[in-house]
Structure formats: structure tokens, C-alpha cells
Structure 1
Amino acid sequence: MSIWAGLFLFFLTVALMEAFAYVMHRWVMHGPGWFLHESHHRPRTGKFELNDLYGVIFAVPSIVLIWGGVQGGWWEGYAWIGAGIAAYGAIYFGFHDVIVHERVRTRYLPKSSYMRRIVQAHRLHHVVSTKKGTVSFGFLLAPKPEVLKAELKRRGRAGVRASTGSDRMFAEK
């Protein structure tokens, strides 16, 4: 396989992973997988939460595909696809765990309109502490915060938790 074909598979996989993550987040994590994901919508009491198991679960296909494409005698494109899944996981970790939830402390402050938008959209997702009624399920693509706030208001703010000091951006104006 040419390097260009491999890179195409890699970047295509990274892009398609956003759609996969949206589907998994909306209909699995906020559906039958809520028993793990619920911990992510509650205040964390330690370094880890049950929701972290999703990272392990989603890493398995990546590892298997990379191994199969490099060592297992499978089609080598699988290694590129596995690497794309791993790259999306790294992007997700950087965005979600480091920037949004600050599980790794940095001095980074979102300055671009894109970064402020996706951070605020994800935080608006977290103002709802219940399985139903949440908004914004993507990680790298998100509706405008005004649209999300309007949707939360339209739903009667069902499941919206009490505001904390860090939630000032969600207050009604």
C-alpha cells in the first residue's frame, strides 16, 4: 500500500470517528451504557471514574487492527485504520480530559472561537445530570452554544443540575 493511500485511510478514519463517537455517546452512553457513563455526569471523587472504561473499550479495536495490519498478516490498511482510531483517541483525550475537564492541569485558555465553542458546548452537555435531556453529543463538532441553550430552555431545563461557581457561563441572561 502506498503511503498516500495509508494516509488517506488514516485521516478518513479520524474524520469518521467523530460520527462514531457521536452515535456511541448519544445512543449507547446515554442509553444502555449509562451505568458507566453516569459517573461522568457526577462530581468526580478520585482520579478515575467508571466512564474511563470506555477509553479502554474503544482502544481494543485500535490495538487489534494495528497488530493485525503490522504483525498478523492481515491487509496493511488495517494498521492505518487502527492508527486513525488511536489518533482520534489522543485528540479526544487532549480535548475532553485535558482542556474541558482539566484532569491534567495546564495553563491553556481557549482563545479561538472554535475552541471556545466546543468547550462551551461540551460544558452545556454536562449541565444535565440525567440520562435524558442532554444536548451536544459530538466532541470536535458542536452546535452554537446559543442553539444549545435554547434547546435546554425549550425542554424545560429537565435534569439541569444546580449551578456551581464554574457554571456562570450557563446562567440565563
Structure 2
Amino acid sequence: MIALQYFVITLITFLIMECVTWLTHKYVMHGFLWYLHEDHHQPKYLSFFEKNDLFFIIFAIPSILLFYFGVNPQLNYLFFIGLGILLYGMAYFFIHEIIIHQRIKMFTRTKIKYFVGLRKAHKIHHKHLGKEEGECFGMLYVPRKYFSI
């Protein structure tokens, strides 16, 4: 029974992370930390790495802390919240860096409808070079209209 509870905690955390991502992307990355995210919206990358990549470190900190406190003094639910955040981060990396921006050349000619819709929605997000007037701030949820464009 406890294994099922931990699985549910991990799954719910993973799903909640999409909401956290949307809010953080809209109000933090396109808000007061725009100076870190701005280079990500530039048409030409100056190098393989961007200042925007620092967000991976920033977002890893809560997961690391939850892992630490989730095993001290014994395994508890905090560990599985950290696991949900880690799994979402891994999915985010795969989707954002590999599927969408193709910083690692894999799936460059995918015909999978979900991946095609993700790329279209993200292109709409990137058509705005400034921090205002953005749309499609989430990552894994894609509005239906982007599957038919």
C-alpha cells in the first residue's frame, strides 16, 4: 500500500510541475529574471550554452533538497516529491532541448503528432522576441489548436 502512495505522490508532483512551469515561465522567466531567459528568445544562439540554462540548476535545487530531507532520518514522502520534480525535469530536458530546439540532434524528422504539436506551440511562443505578449508558457500540455495548424 505504501508503494502505491509513493507512486501517486510522484505522479501528482509530476503533473503539478506543468502548472509550476507555466507560472514560472510566464511570471519569473518573462518577468524579473528575463535577463537570464532573454538569450533563449534570440534568433541566433551565440554558443551552445545560454544564460537560460542556469534555470536547470535553479530548478534542481528544490529536488535535491527534497531528496536530502526525504531520506533523513528515514525514507519519507519528501523523497517522492523530489522524484516527481526530477522526472518532470528529465521530461522537460528531453522535450525542450532535444525535440523542440534540437540542441542534441535526435528526432529531427519526427512525424509523431504530439511532438509536431509541441514544436508548433513552442514556435508560437518564440515568435515574440520580447518578454511581453507571449503565449504557450507550459511544456508538456499543448492546446488542441496546435495539432491542426
Instruction: Say whether the fold is shared (TM-score over 0.5).
Output: yes
Q: CA-atom RMSD, angstroms?
A: 1.9
For residues 31 and 74 of structure 2, what CA distance do their matches in structure 1 show? 34
1:137 Cα deviation from its structure 2 partner? 0.6
1:112 Cα deviation from its structure 2 partner? 2.7
Larger radius of gyration, structure 1 or 2? 1
- Contact 2:99–2:107, Cα closer than 8 Å, also in 1: no
The residue aligned with 2:47 is 46
Farther off after superposition, 116-125 or 54-63: 116-125
For residues 123 and 129 of structure 2, what CA distance do their matches in structure 1 show? 11
The residue aligned with 2:85 is 85
SS at match of 1:92: helix
SS at match of 2:57: helix
Deviations 1:43-77 (A, max 9, x none): 2111111011111000000011011112x226610
For residues 126 and 136 of structure 2, what CA distance do their matches in structure 1 show? 9
Q: In the TM superposition, what are the counterparts of 1:81-160 in structure 2 within 5 Å?
A: 81-143=81-143, 144-145=145-146
For residues 112 and 99 of structure 2, what CA distance do their matches in structure 1 show? 13
Farther off after superposition, 112-121 or 95-104: 112-121
- Contact 2:21–2:138, Cα closer than 8 Å, also in 1: yes
The residue aligned with 1:61 is 62
Farther off after superposition, 99-108 or 17-26: 99-108
Deviations 1:75-112 (A, max 9, x none): 61000000100000000000000110111111443323
C-alpha change, 1:61 and 1:74, in structure 2 (3 Å) is farther
1:146 Cα deviation from its structure 2 partner? 8.3
- How many residue pairs match? The answer is 147
Structure whose residues are more often helix by fraction: 2
Q: Which has the higher contact order (CA 8 A, sep 6+)?
A: 2
Q: Which amino acid aligns with 1:103?
A: R
Give unmatched runs, 5+ long, in structure 1: 150-173
SS at match of 1:30: helix
TM-score, normalised by the number of residues in structure 1: 0.79
For residues 44 and 73 of structure 1, what CA distance do their matches in structure 2 show? 45
The residue aligned with 2:12 is 12
The residue aligned with 1:162 is none
